[in-house]
Amino acid sequence: MSDRGLSYSPPPVGTKSKKRKAATTSTTTTTTTKSKRTKTVQQPTKVAQHLLDPFANAKESIRKALASPNSFELPDDEASMRGLVLSISEYAKSLEASVAIAVTSGQPGPAPKPSEQIKTEAEKIAATIKSGIIKQMTWRSTTFEGRTPYVYDGFCSDPRVFGALLKLQGPPMCRTYKFTKDEFSGMIGEITHALRYDTLILTSDVKFEWYESGEFKVKGKYGARPRGGR
């Protein structure tokens, strides 16, 4: 059969245009969706910025003061002025601690942290230490004599928090610290453990060993409370 005898039917008119229209509509919808999503992005509020950086207000006050030394505004009332001075002081103290950590460790110092946050984290570690020591206080052959040893292994990633735990003026500068049992109780809280016939108490000084990795050890001894004694 000759090729000339074959009939040729052209594609229906409008088929390609419909597909193109559908593709165009899909593209338009995608663009519109992206546009709507972009519009929903909002800048963080001042409250959110403060949560991300608790020293944001202090930094802003310092920036304004340096930009206009002779004309920057000061708070009108005494309470606001005290708040401003306090926030800048806390920021400076936190920077001091960060620099001290960087000098002793040879690594970049951690970001500034408010004193209240440091205090809260130190209290949590203190509670963990207390619980960990009490769990080790069981009756042994040396307990009646008051010389049963305990060793608590802990971790604190922030030297500033560990310094606050030990009531230091900043991050720890030594590897070991030694405290009396009364000083230790002032940091952690009184540690006692009641058994059936006796109450166990701490009987010796307490030694802290601190490592730059954040690991630390608490060592001491415990024993039975003397009958009729404290």
State the pTM of this model.
Answer: 0.59
Sign of the dihedral through C-alpha 29, 31, 36, 40:
positive
Q: What are phi and psi of 74, to 5 degrees?
A: -115, 150
Report pLDDT for 39. Answer: 47
* Region 98-115 average pLDDT: 70
Report pLDDT for 168. Answer: 92
pLDDT band at 142 (very low <50, low <70, confident <90, very high): very high
pLDDT band at 55 (very low <50, low <70, confident <90, very high): confident
Q: Is the pLDDT of residue 42 over 70?
A: no
Q: Is the pLDDT of residue 2 over 50?
A: no
* Region 63-89 average pLDDT: 81
Are residues 228 and 166 in contact, defined by beta-carbon separation less than 8 angstroms? Answer: no
- Rounded-to-integer distance, Cα 162 and Cα 105, Å: 15
- Distance of alpha carbon 230 from the chain centroid: 38
| Segment 153-198, tens digit of pLDDT | 999 989 999 999 999 988 898 999 999 999 999 999 999 999 988 9
* Region 55-74 average pLDDT: 78
Q: Is the pLDDT of residue 230 over 70?
A: no
Q: Is the pLDDT of residue 71 over 50?
A: yes
| Segment 21-33, tens digit of pLDDT | 444 555 555 555 5
Q: Which residues contact 129 (CB under 8 A, 6 or more apart)?
A: 152, 154, 188, 218
- Rounded-to-integer distance, Cα 124 and Cα 118, Å: 10
Q: Is the pLDDT of residue 132 over 70?
A: yes
| Segment 206-216, tens digit of pLDDT | 999 999 889 99
Side chain identity, residue 13: V
User: What whole-number percentage of the chain has pLDDT above 90?
Assistant: 40
Report pLDDT for 65. Answer: 78
Tokens of 55: 């020293």
